[in-house]
Amino acid sequence: DQQVKQNSPSLSVQEGRISILNCDYTNSMFDYFLWYKKYPAEGPTFLISISSIKDKNEDGRFTVFLNKSAKHLSLHIVPSQPGDSAVYFCAASADGSSNTGKLIFGQGTTLQVKP
């Protein structure tokens, strides 16, 4: 049972345009969401996060939107750059409500930004 789903395995966009990566979740107890980026042969690196008390968080070119009623979050990258080409994972936790320490990841979306 996949509690966090990234239904698009891959996404290709042109340099300078917007990249939108989507993530859906099923567990209404999740209260913290994170995005990680992963290059080949490296470990994932933290990108941006959002608490369930917010619906938007912005950091430079990266913005995460949370729609709790739809149990959906998205990562927007504007403008996209070739260096953004990587695998993106969304992750969710119920840390605030249960402090269990469990973190659930989606399957990942491979983003390719073409020059």
Partner 1 sequence: EAQVTQNPRYLITVTGKKLTVTCSQNMNHEYMSWYRQDPGLGLRQIYYSMNVEVTDKGDVPEGYKVSRKEKRNFPLILESPSPNQTSLYFCASSRGGLGQPQHFGDGTRLSIL
- Scan residues 6-65 and list those touching partner 1 (CB under 8 A): 6, 9, 32, 34, 36, 41-46, 49, 51
Q: CB-based burial of residue 104 (10 Å sphere; 0-12 exposed, 13-18 middle, 19+ buried)?
A: middle
Total binding residues toward partner 1, as defined by CB under 8 A: 29
- Among 11-19, 64-72, 75-83, 94-102, which window interacts with partner 1 (CB under 8 A)? 94-102
Cβ partners under 8 Å of residue 60, min gap 6: none
CB of 75 to partner 1, least distance (A): 15
Neighbours of 87 (CB within 10 A): 18
Residue with smaller CB distance to partner 1, 14 or 100: 100
CB 26 within 8 A of CB 71: yes
**Single residue of 25, 63, 84, 89 touching partner 1 by CB under 8 A:** 89
